[in-house]
Each structure stands twice: as C-alpha cells, then as structure tokens.
Amino acid sequence: MAAGLAGRRGLVTGAARGIGREIAGRLVSEGMATTLLDIDPSVEAIAAEMGATSLVVDLADAESTNRMLAESSEGDPCWLLVNNAGVFSKTELVELDLAEWDRVQAVNVRSMVVTMQALAPAMVAGGGGRIVNMASMAAKRGTPGEAAYAASKAAVVALSRIAAMELGPHGVTVNSICPGYVLTEMGADTRSEDQIAEWTALSPLGRLGAPADVAGVIAFLASDDGAYLTGQAINVTGGMCTW
C-alpha cells in the first residue's frame, strides 16, 4: 500500500477508459476516495462499479468545470489531482488543419490550467497536495506526424515545471509523467502490427508499457514517499527514452 493515500480524496480526469481508468482503480485499491471525471457518461457506471464517485464534464467548458469541481470538493478538498484527459493526433505538419491543432492544445493543455486553477487554491489552504499531469514520451522524442500532439505534451512538461515552482512553497508538488508506448484505445488504431513490433524492440525490457505501469508511478507520487519529488518530467518508457 502507498503510504498516506487512505482516506484522502483524489480526482482523475479522462478516467472512463485506458490509463485514466487504471489510475482510478489503483487509487481506489489504495483506499483513496476517488472521483472519476470524463466527458463520456459511461464513467458513471465505471465509477459505481469501483466504489468511486463520478463527474460528467466537458473540460473545454471552463465555467461548467469550475462550478462542478467546486461543488464536488466543498468542505473536503482534493489531495490529489491527476490530469489525464487527452486526445491523440497524427497529421503531418503541412497538412495539419489549425482546428485540429487548437483542439489538441485545448484538451491536452488548456484543460489542465482549468482544473489546477479550480483545485489548487483549496490544496494550498489545506496545507498541501499533489498534482500529476499526463505528458508523453512525445514531449521529448516525438515522431513525424505528431506536431500537434508532441507540442501539446511539451507544453504540459513546461506548465508542470512552472506550477511546481509556484505551488511548492505551499506544500503542493507538481510533476508530469511521460509514458512511452502504452497500447490503449486512444492510439491503437494508428499503429500497425509491424509498428508495434518496432516500438517493442526499442525497450530493453522487450515489451510495451501497460496502464498499470503508469498507475503505479502515480500512486507513488501521490504518497508520502513521493513528497520530495516536484517539477519533474518522469519517464515511464521501459528505457525507450532516457533523458
């Protein structure tokens, strides 16, 4: 069990499937009172099955998000915010429509600003907390066609670093996670079997990442043992990226 999670509150965005769902399940198993947030209404049934609570919110709607987060945390602020909601994009730069660029930045970066602005003040008032923002290995070594996606994830790394500087004096740590290739629903339809084999070969461990690999790192960062880590962009890449 990760020390210090039991009885505390946590919120995970983009929690209806994939990595977000796995993170939420891990936090529940650690005894954390967990809220799953997603735009997909199916998150309600998923949360109920876990013994968690849920919020159906479009993070692009800042006003609605602020209102619902304030209502959900009234009198009992979150200890942990996991900003996991995101979208993937793979279009070559010269063919990239600016509407696609804007959508990727809005979901992958702007939504994190909205949730941190909504929840960080209560963490500060309560004496501390943890924020973990989902970046990607693409922030450090993207591939052709990932201009919008890689740029958004690099922005997450920078945003997290500055937030760590600003919130650290108040006992709030902020880190970003840079997963490598984790085969989830979001990216599965953009990769062939040959491409998956090529990525697998890049890891000294000889396998792709699993959602549980990411969830374990987040549980550590949220715990008392992770108290002295802040401002970091932590690779969870199986050795595919080492910088």
Point out which residues pair with 176 in neighbouring strands: 133, 233
DSSP 8-state code for residue 22: H
Q: Which residue in the list 149, 164, 214, 226 is annotated as catalytic? A: 149
Of 77, 62, 75, residue with least CA distance to 11? 77
Question: Dihedral of CA 153/228/20/159: which sign?
Answer: negative
How many H helices and E strands in the chain?
A: 10, 7
Whether residue 228 lies in the annotated active site: no
Q: DSSP characters for 45-77? A: HHHHHHT-EEEE--TT-HHHHHHHHHHHHTTS-
Distance CA 45, CA 34 (A): 14
Helix (H) or strand (E) holding 108: none
Kind of pairing between the strands at 80-83 and 129-134: parallel
Point out which residues pair with 129 in neighbouring strands: 172
In the chain, the amino acid numbered 57 is V
CB-count exposure of residue 29 (10 Å: 0-12, 13-18, 19+)? middle
Of 28, 31, 79, residue with least CA distance to 49? 28
Q: Which residues are identified as catalytic?
A: 149
